[in-house]
Amino acid sequence: MTTEHTRIRSLDDPHIFVDTPATIYDAVPPYPPTTEREAEFYSLQDGEMLINLGPQHPSTHGVLRVVLKIDGERVVDLDPVLGYLHRGVEKICENGDWHHAISNCDPLEYIASMFSEAIPVLVAEKLLDLEVPRRADYIRVLAWELNRISSHALFIGWLALDLGGLTPILYGFIERDEIVEMLAALTGQKLLFNYLRIGGVNGDLNHEFLSRLGDWMGRAGQRIEMQQKLINENEIFVRRTRNLGTVDRETALRMCLTGPPLRATGIPYDVRRAHPYSVYPELDFEIPTRTEGDSWARYMLHIDEIKQSLHIIDQVLHQIPDGPIMAKLPRLLRVPPGRAWIAFESPRGQYGAYGISDGSDQPFRLRIHDPSYFNLQTVGLVTPGHLIADTMAIMSSLDPIMGGIDK
């Protein structure tokens, strides 16, 4: 798909023009291969052809680009090309102070940004050895679990959308919009709520949020059940997700999978239990696991987690104590030197952050570990041998979010 025959703009650089149309039509990069893997991938056997998905494609969520090497309809090999949304967040965080880092990490996970904005907060608190007021902790857990539900609702819809169903994504969006509006009433911002603060949260629970929450809890998950009615007993959906992209325990560990893809293989690894943080030790919930490890298991796991999150929200609303929501901190925050590693469970898996401070008001290094970045590379492992249509099903069942992957 191009408008020029002789000179075509390179995919990577708008200044570069590649002179042979074949290079663009075959999605071959306009430079000689630099690694073994690249040379092996971009050399075609007989009957194979390369097809270029993205960076703008309906079913690569965001600007992921995947080069498929196909033989007929069957995928022989594939090569994901990232970086189309690389915004250099880590570098920017080093150049702003710790408070700036909150708003810079916010858009990473733009479906569940309540999690990504917790990165600098938790790191700084760990470096400061800071005790967060318990009410603030409870409010955080409340916001996190609400956001987890909205993210999972979107996941279900997207999986169905990539399988060709039009409707479930809209039901998921209804649920998501309700929750996000609810959180907007709490935080004041719709999608990227800058709510968490070092030492607490930005504002206390207000009446509008609580009334919306109570209204929603009454029929919580109703539309998600509508989605399931559309999907669960649907023969086509089940046949298209069963035994698709199956990962076993050993492979999952070797591929550094976390979150639902790991739990779908039967390993009950959830940071909320493996390394309890915040007030999760005081709450009662289970870690749902499955053993099949295929797309269907991942989908069902998300539904179970939605139920667990509803359970957690119920407990939080009953146990939340009174008290302050911010710890006493100096205005110009100088974090003592040291290294800290924190991890917490985001909807897509273990969100980690590794912070180094040199005693100034700015982080010396803030490493952001995004789970879907490590989950996504499993696609290259499990997809070959499936059909083109299955590539979408596997990718969306791993639930990649390009904002977090590309940072």
Partner 1 sequence: MEVNETTVVMETAEAGADVAVAPASSVVSPIIVPSTGWSAADPAAYNGGRPPTITHLAQLELEPKGDNGRWGALDVIPTKADYLLDYLRANSLWPLLSGLACCAMEMMSAATSVNDMDRFNMFPFRASPRQADVLIVAGTLTTKMAGPLIRLWEQMPEPKWCVAMGDCTCSGGRYKRSYATVEGIDRVMPVDVYIPGCPPRPEGLIYGMLKLQQLIVGRRGQWADRRVGPTVPAGV
Partner 2 sequence: MGRPPGRPHRPRGRLTEAPPDQSRSRPTDTALKRRLEARLGDQLAGPVRARHDTTEIVVGPGNLAAVMRALREDPAFRFELLADLSGVDTGTVLQVVYHLWSPLTPDWLRVIADGLPREDPRVPSITFLWKGAEWGEREAYDMFGIIFEGNRDLRRIYMPPDFKGFPLRKDFLLPDDAARSPGMGVRYMEQPVAPAETRRQPVLRTSPGTGSLVAGAGHQELVAGETAAPALSQGEPGP
Partner 3 sequence: MHAEGRGVTVITRPWQRLTLLGKILVPLLIVFVAVNIALIGLWASGLLPWLIQATLDVLGANVGIIRFLAAATVILLITVPIAFLIIFFEMKIIAFVNLRVGPNRIGPWGTLSSVVHGLKVLAKEDFTPTGADVPVFTLAPVVVYLAAVMTLLVVPFAPGLYGFDMEIGLLYFFAVGGLGVIGLMMAGWSSFNKYSLLGGLRAAAGIISYELPLILAVVGIVLLTGSLNLTTIVESQSGSVLDWYIVRQPLGALIFFIAATAEGGRTPFDLTEADSEIVAGFATEYSGMRFGFFFFAEYVNVFILSAMTTVLFLGGWNAPFDIDPVLEFFNIATPVQAVLDPGALDMGLLWVIALGAPIVIGILGLMVWMLKSDWSIVRSLIVGFLLFNLLLSGLFIGWLAINLDWVIGLFWFLAKAIGLCAFFVLMRGTLPRVRIDQLMGFAWKWLVPAALLNIFVTAGAIIVIKSLEGSL
User: What residues between 141 and 200 interact with partner 3 by CB under 8 A?
Assistant: 160-167, 170-171, 174
List CB contacts of 299: < 8 A, sequence separation 6 or more.
156, 159, 231, 241, 397
**Taking CB under 8 A as the criterion, which residues in 221-240 touch partner 3?**
230-231, 234, 236-237, 239-240
**Taking CB under 8 A as the criterion, which residues in 238-297 touch partner 3?**
239-240
Beta bridge partners of 343: 352
CB nearer partner 3, residue 239 or residue 275? 239
Q: Which does 237 bind (CB under 5 to 8 A by kind): partner 3, partner 1, partner 2, none?
A: partner 3
Would you give the DSSP letter of residue 43?
A: S
CB nearer partner 2, residue 83 or residue 133? 83
CA atoms lying within 13 Å on the CB side of residue 251:
16
Q: Which does 163 bind (CB under 5 to 8 A by kind): partner 3, partner 2, partner 1, none?
A: partner 3
Contact call for residue 34 and partner 1 (CB under 8 A): yes
Q: Which does 51 bind (CB under 5 to 8 A by kind): partner 2, partner 3, partner 1, none?
A: partner 3
**Taking CB under 8 A as the criterion, which residues in 246-275 touch partner 1?**
none
**Taking CB under 8 A as the criterion, which residues in 176-215 touch partner 2?**
none
CB nearer partner 3, residue 102 or residue 393? 393
Contact call for residue 131 and partner 3 (CB under 8 A): no
Distance CA 305, CA 35 (A): 41
Contact call for residue 219 and partner 2 (CB under 8 A): no
Q: Tell me which residue has tokens 């976390």.
A: 258
**Taking CB under 8 A as the criterion, which residues in 323-352 touch partner 2?**
337-341, 343, 350, 352
Contact call for residue 177 and partner 1 (CB under 8 A): yes
Q: Phi and psi for 85 in degrees, rounded to 5?
A: -125, 25
* 25-64 footprint of partner 3 as x/- string (CB under 8 A): x-----------------------x-x-----xxx-----
Task: Indicate which single residue of 28, 66, 75, 111 sits in contact with partner 1 (rule: CB under 8 A).
Answer: 111
Residue 114 structure tokens: 């309540």
Distance CA 336, CA 324 (A): 24
Beta bridge partners of 50: 69
DSSP string covering 235-277: HHHHHHHTTSS---HHHHHHTT--SHHHHTTT----HHHHS--
Contact call for residue 387 and partner 3 (CB under 8 A): yes
H or E element at residue 67: strand 65-71
* Cβ atoms of residues 215 and 192 within 8 Å: no
CB nearer partner 1, residue 25 or residue 173? 173
CB nearer partner 1, residue 189 or residue 315? 189
Residue type at 145?
E
Q: Tell me which residue has tokens 């995947």.
A: 66
